[in-house]
Amino acid sequence: MPVLTRLIPSPVVVDIRPGALDGLAGLLADQRISSNGKLAFAISGGSGAALRERFAPELPNADWYEVGGGTIDDAIKLADAMKSGRYDAVVGLGGGKIIDCAKFAAARIGLPLVAVATNLSHDGLCSPVATLDNDAGRGSYGVPNPIAVVIDLDVIREAPARFVRSGIGDAISNISAVRDWELGHEVRGEDIDGLAAAIARQAGEAVLRHPGDVGDDSFLQVLAEGLVLTGISMSVAGDSRPASGACHEINHAFDLLFPKRAASHGEQCGLGAAFATHLRGDAETAGLMAEVLKRHGLPVLPTDIGFDEDEFLKVVEYAPQTRPGRYTILEHLDLSTDQIRDAYADYAQAVSS
């Protein structure tokens, strides 16, 4: 008997809506997560206090841990602090850094993770990757997918708009990343997973083509769902390929060459995606991406985030080294510095008009 379908690792609960946090205590009491309430919460030292005050009375058996920052050392410290507690699950309650730290810590001590996101800064909410700063800059660590994902759109609306906007750039960059994957398939015979590509691309297209903005619930719903689905597309593929191509190589190059001045993940990925799409010769999509990024207050030119043209040329030139083995439009064209300069001049003119 042939196996006719496949199983996809995915959360048992996805709850994305205004007011979702009101149901958090009940959701955690689900017997698949924690019937006795022995939970380890990871929160930030700042805004985490208010969340703790809100949930501690409903969850008397939970313990609360403040996360120091977004480094691998912070994540290891968190795991060490939690490991003797006999918990059923770890709950990451906060922004991207908190969730990344909680994901890593939960994986290290062998517990499932519940991700409760208070902003939408990137697609790591539900992905099998934890991104943490280390001595070499920034690393991606493989971890299991969260067992549950909760996003309260009322809370997202209160988050600093910059963090929510960052998620838009990350979601839109899927479209460019999937094109890079297709290129790798066509040119080098790389395996492509059609389901993972479809999920990632649809998530990006839905955000790209939605007429709303971060002030409206229907847009936030599509953005939050898009970021969660992007994470699942990575689980389907088994790596970050559906959501990370030249766009993310450019992002990593900004982080590595200018660690003190780098902008947010989504700001850099969105810009990288528009530029990579331009390099691919797809002027129509590149133009639409640039228009949408601008409409949401995201950068389309390096100068929008404080980098001059020469610095950007260095970023693009260095980008392929950030992901050895990943084939994208940058590796495909293998441009010289002068060719990058010309391509950038074309791009800058196209998106500024």
| Choices 40-48, 165-173, 195-203, 294-302 (CB under 5 A): range interacting with Zn ion | 165-173
| Choices 38-46, 96-104, 166-174, 331-339 (CB under 5 A): range interacting with Zn ion | 166-174
Helices and strands, counts by H and E, the chain: 14, 8
**Closest distance to Zn ion from the beta carbon of 86 (Å):** 35
Closest to Zn ion by CB, 74 vs 123, is 123
Beta bridge partners of 92: 42, 115
**Closest distance to Zn ion from the beta carbon of 170 (Å):** 4
Total residues contacting Zn ion (rule CB under 5 A)? Answer: 1
CB-nearest residue to Zn ion: 170
Among 100, 152, 170, 249, binds Zn ion (CB under 5 A): 170
Helix axes 217-237, 194-209, angle to 10 degrees: 160
Closest to Zn ion by CB, 34 vs 173, is 173
Closest to Zn ion by CB, 125 vs 348, is 125
**Closest distance to Zn ion from the beta carbon of 235 (Å):** 15
Instruction: Phi first, then psi: give them for residue 258, nearest 5 degrees.
Output: -130, 60
CA dihedral 139, 137, 296, 227 (to 10 degrees): 10
Burial state string for 103-127 with b = 16 or more CB within 10 A and e = fewer than 16: bbbbbbbebbbbbbbbbbbbbbbbb
Rounded distance between C-alpha atoms, residue 31 and residue 142, angstroms? 26
Beta bridge partners of 16: 151
Closest to Zn ion by CB, 170 vs 180, is 170
Closest to Zn ion by CB, 133 vs 170, is 170
Closest to Zn ion by CB, 88 vs 249, is 249
88 scored as a contact of Zn ion (CB under 5 A): no
Beta-sheet strand order (sheet of 148-152): 13-17, 148-152, 113-117, 89-94, 39-44, 63-67
| Choices 110-118, 164-172, 186-194, 323-331 (CB under 5 A): range interacting with Zn ion | 164-172
| Choices 11-19, 149-157, 169-177, 182-190 (CB under 5 A): range interacting with Zn ion | 169-177
Q: Which residues bind Zn ion (CB under 5 A)?
A: 170
